[in-house]
Amino acid sequence: MSAVNAARILVVEDELSMRRLLRLYLTKAGFTVEEAATGREGLVALLRGGVDLAIVDVMLPEMDGFEVIRQVRRSSSVPVILLTARGEESSRVAGLELGADDYVVKPFLPYEVVARVRAHLRRARGFADEGGGTLQAGTVELDLRGRTCAVGGTAVDLTRREFDLLEALMASPGRAFTREQLLDQVWGSRFVSEKTVDVHIVGLRQKLGDAVRIATLRGIGYRLEPGA
């Protein structure tokens, strides 16, 4: 069994039938599955540790999925896939802005969820195995071993995906990246919506300000200006 398949997955979902469905497919795929029926139970399980990835429903009793992510992101970068029955784009974007790595809209195909889980785990564990080094662009410096970001010597708090995305851009200044290429390189999957890239770019621009310029290439994607 691969290291990815040996991972522990937490499913936070109040519908018993949905939990059973996800447990069935995830277990068949070789994962260990833990369940929580409320947002508060899920948060406790995540803060306790030992979870490699969480699948969290938005509409939960006691505490909704957005609040679970908000609190978890204060101390953990564990990958989180959001489940939502909402069709509004705003609800999905809200989850991504809070730190969710991906979202799945109900109804969904169970094998698609399994594929996304594997992709996010490969990406998360791949970064954990990488070596050190630093990247510099203008006054922005990335410490790849410590996974920290500083602007002019002042620490800037980036989410895991924001860091990964900025690393990809800074490693190839002047290169035009399509959204599909960034999804492959940063998220490890094209199952993720291209909107995810846009949301994380907005987050980077807000946090880095004028310290670095990430140009939007209309109809293509993004590029870190080489002179930044």
Residue 183: which CATH number? 1.10.10.10
Residue pLDDT, tens place only, 122-169: 777 665 444 457 888 889 999 888 889 999 999 999 988 899 899 989
If asked whether residues 101 and 13 sit together in one domain, one would say yes
If asked whether residues 113 and 32 sit together in one domain, one would say yes
Note down the domain range covering 191. 130-224
Of residues 30 and 190, more confidently modeled: 30
Edge-to-edge strands, sheet with 148-151: 134-137, 140-143, 148-151, 154-156
HSE of 99, CA atoms in CB hemisphere, 13 A: 22
If asked whether residues 175 and 203 sit together in one domain, one would say yes
- Residue at which a domain ends, from 90, 112, 128: 128
If asked whether residues 123 and 178 sit together in one domain, one would say no
Question: Would you state the pLDDT for residue 175?
Answer: 86
If asked whether residues 146 and 182 sit together in one domain, one would say yes
- Residue at which a domain ends, from 97, 128, 159: 128
**Structural domain count, the chain:** 2
If asked whether residues 24 and 121 sit together in one domain, one would say yes
Predicted confidence band at 184 (pLDDT cuts at 50, 70, 90)? confident
Question: Would you state the pLDDT for residue 228?
Answer: 55
Which residues are bridge partners to 148 per DSSP? 143
Residue pLDDT, tens place only, 53-73: 999 999 999 999 999 999 999
Question: Would you state the pLDDT for residue 86?
Answer: 64
Q: Which of 23, 32, 57 lies closest to 43, judged by CA?
A: 57
Is 1 contained in some domain?
A: no
Is 30 contained in some domain?
A: yes
Is 165 contained in some domain?
A: yes
Give the C-alpha separation, 76 to 69, whole Å.
10
Q: What is the pTM of this model?
A: 0.65
